[in-house]
Amino acid sequence: MSQSLSEECTPLKRKYDACFNAWFEGYLEPAVSASASSEQRAKFAQQKATEFENSCGKIWQEYRQCIQKAVKDKGLDVLLEQARQENPLKEPPPPQPLDNPRS
């Protein structure tokens, strides 16, 4: 695992990374099961979102606050805002249908 933007945030990053990886490992296999219906997958995804919030949410918020402070302390917040103004995020285009070569 890599270092965080700020040395003081690295312990929180490692704690969050470990929590997320443990949670994600349990998310992947059942979530992509071919035998599950879309309703079952949606229910499972909601359960896993709640589980994530309960187990990793507080760590994420602490790490996020630490990073936001580091960004501001390093003066990067001004650059980020400038980049957002120059290149705002837009809605992605709707998916295009695939051409069927057999038609």
Tell me the average pLDDT of the chain: 85
Q: In this predicted structure, which of 1-15, 32-46, 58-72 has the lowest mean pLDDT? A: 32-46
Exposed/middle/buried for residue 83 (C-beta within 10 Å: 0-12, 13-18, 19+): exposed
Task: Over range 5-27, report the average pLDDT.
Answer: 92
Spatial separation of the C-alpha atoms in residues 72 and 43, rounded to whole Å = 39
Q: Are 56 and 23 in contact (CB under 8 A)?
A: yes
Spatial separation of the C-alpha atoms in residues 59 and 30, rounded to whole Å = 25
The residues spanned by each domain of the chain are 7-78
Q: Is the pLDDT of residue 25 over 90?
A: no
Predicted confidence band at 50 (pLDDT cuts at 50, 70, 90)? Answer: very high
> pTM for the complete prediction?
0.70
Give 58's contacts (C-beta < 8 A, 6+ positions apart). none
Extract the tokens encoding 4.
């965080």
Predicted confidence band at 98 (pLDDT cuts at 50, 70, 90)? Answer: low
